[in-house]
Chains A and B, each alone.
Chain A
Amino acid sequence: MLAYIARRLGYILIMLVLVSFVSFLIIELPPGDYLTQKLQELQARGDRSAEMRIAEYRARYGLDKPLLERYWIWSTHFIKGDFGDSFEFERPVTEIIGQRAGMSAILAISTITLTWLLAIPIGVYSATHQYSIGDQITTIVTFIGLGMPGFLLALIVLFFAMTVLGQEVGGLFSREFQDAPWSFAKVVDLLKHLWIPAFIGAVTGTASLIRIMRGNLLDTLGQPFVEAARARGLKERTVIWKHAVRVAINPLIVILGSEALPQIIAGNALVATVLNLPTLGPVYVRALQVQDMYLAGTVLVFIVGMTMIGNLLADLTLAALDPRIRLE
């Protein structure tokens, strides 16, 4: 067991090295770099000393060195917890991530909780009442939910919140709480804002999870052990939850593990951009666009790392829940 975990962690480490290097290469691929763009910008503004300042930057960030050397410097510092500086923010990457990671996590956790709390009961209802009116409505709604792009939904909800609820939207805090210290009122204010992105994030996730739960449970309900459990005299509710759902839900653990953790880092960037949320997603997208190397690279490494750790956790949980699965 411990040997298994150690081996998996080893693979994760190797993967991270590979991924970080490849992503470094890819971010570098478009012609020019952050500073070439910056230079053009400054020159367009008529800044005479542009060339000089850029050269100074180039030396400071080591951009004049060859790619391999830069990767080596960045990765060796990375291990020590120094992720380099962001060109655009002109601040250490650690600081930017530190500022936003908390909000990203709060948003992701509330989205995931909402998704599961909605999807599991609805999926179970839908499967146990197959072809009933409720099931048909669920099916239609989930298809709409699956087809609707998140950013479009974000715009619709924004509009609804502004016109009908008269609520100030965008961001996670009202202006007066933006920089205020934490207090009960600030938490309430956060919740008032949080429901919008959490709801939007939950819609697509819930829709697909309902479909999966319904399908798995329908398969399981047709299994002889469900009938055998019923023939033992159990209540229908016990038959469904203790026997059928307990078996049907196992594959969903994998989904939770592999999707939830990376989502904490940079979930739903598009929706977060529309809603102007202080989370990591929008920053990450922006960093990729302007070739803000170290910021983009760091976030990417974290996403990959979280995905793989999530998979490992999912496998461990699954092994604990399902006696048929053995970790090799």
Chain B
Amino acid sequence: MSEPLIEVKDLKVQFNVRDGIIHAVDGATFTINRGQTLGIIGESGCGKSVTAKAILRMVPRPGKVTGGEILYHRRIKSNGSEITDIVNITELDPDGEEIRKIRGGEIGMIFQEPMSSLTPVYTAGSHIGEAVGLHRLVPIRKVGAQMVETIQAHRRISKQEAREIAIDMLRRVGIPKPEQRVDAYPHQLSGGQRQRVMIAIALSCEPKMLIADEPTTALDVSIEAQILDIMRELQETVDMAIMFITHNLGVVAEMAEEICVMYMGKIVERASAVEIFYEPQHPYTRALLKSIPHVGKKSRERLASIKGMVPDPFNLPSGCVFHPRCPEYMPGKCDRIVPSWTQVGENHWARCLLYEGV
């Protein structure tokens, strides 16, 4: 039963800057199913964060979504049965009520920079309280209310309740002495603790999906393992999808069931995590995998890194954008023809001319 939660279809995001246009996301297509973890990997600057922000309708200026759509399948209860309502996020007003209900309430996000993602003048507890106050409602029980009444009255959460939720969330993300830490200011917390607080904020509203944008890149390895454990544990208890963005292949192997590989704003390969690691099809994916150091493989040679440089975003190569760096470059083809999305196995797709028989 893989029911889609977010469908991104041919998403295009451009930044119109002084030197020209940056195609930060250039036709990305993928689906995230309910309860599933999708990994997005790719080198720095390939458009991972911009894709994530587009899902929350938060692309920073001067960026603009110039094409495609993002469909959010929202489940609503109606007359006792569940129906699915489809919201096209790209068409929402970026400061409208609809998207603000989704942000934080239905899709939570944690960011790359735990050190500065909390407002320095507010406590950990007030951050959580703010989110909970916006999105969590408590049903009001009316004496003698009819059982058939379908629309239930709700009220906002009280200060005291918000504090209790905050303490409980901090405990769940493994912050010691949460009754005291709830009143701590960000500068009194370590980087790892701050990221835990960010996770607590994001999960306090019980979202249907969590976007984790390189949540552990800025942290050291032992803290990274703890944070990943916490995310996995919490995911099991709340049935939440995760879009896990990273450039660390080791981390994504641990977290994701399915993986999208991005290069220069395009998804170049998509398959289950196992297939990506054992049967990578796109030359870029293979090159990425070769760049992971292996324990025991004692070689004196330098880590295999991908040859060449990331191309100039204002001056993209013709044909397949990876061709100047590709070990399997086919002259006359790869520099002329733009590869299309091709099925290369069961549930395994790639964007490469090797599989197009041209």
Residues of A within 8 A of B187 (CB): 323-324
- Which residue of chain A is the closest to B123 with respect to CB atoms? A323
**Binary A-proximity of B117-138 (CB < 8 A = 1, otherwise 0):** 1111100000100110011000
Q: How far is the CA of A236 from the CA of B99 in the complex (A)?
A: 12
B113 contacts the other chain (CB 8 A): yes
B103 touches A230 (CB 8 A): yes
Q: How far is the CA of A303 from the CA of B187 in the complex (A)?
A: 37
A230-276 interface with B by 8 A CB criterion: 230-236, 243, 246-247
B95 touches A236 (CB 8 A): yes
Residues of A within 8 A of B131 (CB): 232-233
A235 touches B185 (CB 8 A): no
Residues of B within 8 A of A321 (CB): 121
B91-115 interface with A by 8 A CB criterion: 95, 100-105, 108-109, 111-113
Q: CB < 8 Å: which of B112, B118, B134 contacts A233?
A: B134
Residues of B within 8 A of A229 (CB): 119
- Which residue of chain B is the closest to A222 with respect to CB atoms? B60
Q: Dominant SS at the A interface?
A: helix
Q: How far is the CB of A254 from chain B (nearest CB, A)?
A: 16
Q: How far is the CA of A231 from the CA of B117 in the complex (A)?
A: 11
- Which residue of chain A is the closest to B114 with respect to CB atoms? A224
- Which residue of chain B is the closest to A246 with respect to CB atoms? B121
- Which residue of chain B is the closest to A237 with respect to CB atoms? B95
- Which residue of chain A is the closest to B118 with respect to CB atoms? A225
Interface centre among B118, B130, B198 (most CB of A within 10 A): B130
Q: How far is the CA of A225 from the CA of B104 in the complex (A)?
A: 14
Q: How far is the CA of A210 from the CA of B301 in the complex (A)?
A: 58
Q: How far is the CA of A247 from the CA of B118 in the complex (A)?
A: 12
B101 touches A233 (CB 8 A): yes
- Which residue of chain B is the closest to A323 with respect to CB atoms? B185
A168 contacts the other chain (CB 8 A): no
A232-B120 in contact given A323-B185, A324-B185, A324-B187 (Cβ < 8 Å): no
Q: How far is the CB of A80 from chain B (nearest CB, A)?
A: 45
Residues of B within 8 A of A224 (CB): 111-113, 116-117
Q: CB < 8 Å: which of B60, B95, B130, B185 contacts A232?
A: B130
Residues of A within 8 A of B185 (CB): 323-324
A82 contacts the other chain (CB 8 A): no
A95 contacts the other chain (CB 8 A): no
Q: CB < 8 Å: which of B101, B109, B116 contacts A223?
A: B116
B111 touches A227 (CB 8 A): yes
A247 touches B120 (CB 8 A): yes
Q: How far is the CB of A117 from chain B (nearest CB, A)?
A: 23
Q: How far is the CA of A322 from the CA of B187 in the complex (A)?
A: 11
B116 touches A234 (CB 8 A): no
A137 contacts the other chain (CB 8 A): no
B227 contacts the other chain (CB 8 A): no
B100 touches A234 (CB 8 A): yes
A228 contacts the other chain (CB 8 A): yes
Q: How far is the CA of A278 from the CA of B103 in the complex (A)?
A: 58
B58 touches A230 (CB 8 A): yes
B56 contacts the other chain (CB 8 A): yes
A322 touches B100 (CB 8 A): no
Q: How far is the CB of A233 from chain B (nearest CB, A)?
A: 3
**Binary B-proximity of A100-130 (CB < 8 A = 1, otherwise 0):** 0000000000000000000000000000000
B11 contacts the other chain (CB 8 A): no
Residues of A within 8 A of B116 (CB): 223-225
Q: How far is the CB of B195 from chain A (nearest CB, A)?
A: 11
Residues of B within 8 A of A232 (CB): 103-104, 127, 130-131, 134, 201
Residues of B within 8 A of A247 (CB): 119-121
Q: How far is the CB of A253 from chain B (nearest CB, A)?
A: 13
B119 touches A225 (CB 8 A): yes
Interface centre among A233, A234, A235, A236 (most CB of B within 10 A): A233
A322 touches B117 (CB 8 A): no
Q: How far is the CA of A321 from the CA of B111 in the complex (A)?
A: 26
- Which residue of chain A is the closest to B108 with respect to CB atoms? A231
**Binary B-proximity of A308-326 (CB < 8 A = 1, otherwise 0):** 0000000000000111100
Residues of B within 8 A of A234 (CB): 100, 104, 130, 134
Q: How far is the CB of B212 from chain A (nearest CB, A)?
A: 12
B103 touches A233 (CB 8 A): yes
Q: How far is the CB of A270 from chain B (nearest CB, A)?
A: 39
- Which residue of chain B is the closest to A232 with respect to CB atoms? B104
A173-230 interface with B by 8 A CB criterion: 223-225, 227-230
A323 touches B134 (CB 8 A): no
Q: How far is the CA of A227 from the CA of B63 in the complex (A)?
A: 15
Residue ranges of B at the interface with A (Cβ–Cβ < 8 Å): 56, 58, 60, 95, 100-105, 108-109, 111-113, 116-121, 127, 130-131, 134-135, 185, 187, 198, 201
Q: List 13 A-B contacts (CB under 8 A).
A: A224-B117, A227-B60, A228-B117, A229-B119, A230-B58, A231-B103, A231-B109, A232-B127, A233-B104, A234-B130, A235-B95, A247-B119, A324-B185
Residue ranges of A at the interface with B (Cβ–Cβ < 8 Å): 223-225, 227-236, 243, 246-247, 321-324
Q: What 12 new A-B contacts, CB under 8 Å, besides A224-B117, A235-B100?
A: A227-B58, A228-B109, A231-B104, A233-B131, A233-B135, A234-B130, A234-B134, A243-B119, A247-B120, A322-B121, A323-B120, A324-B187
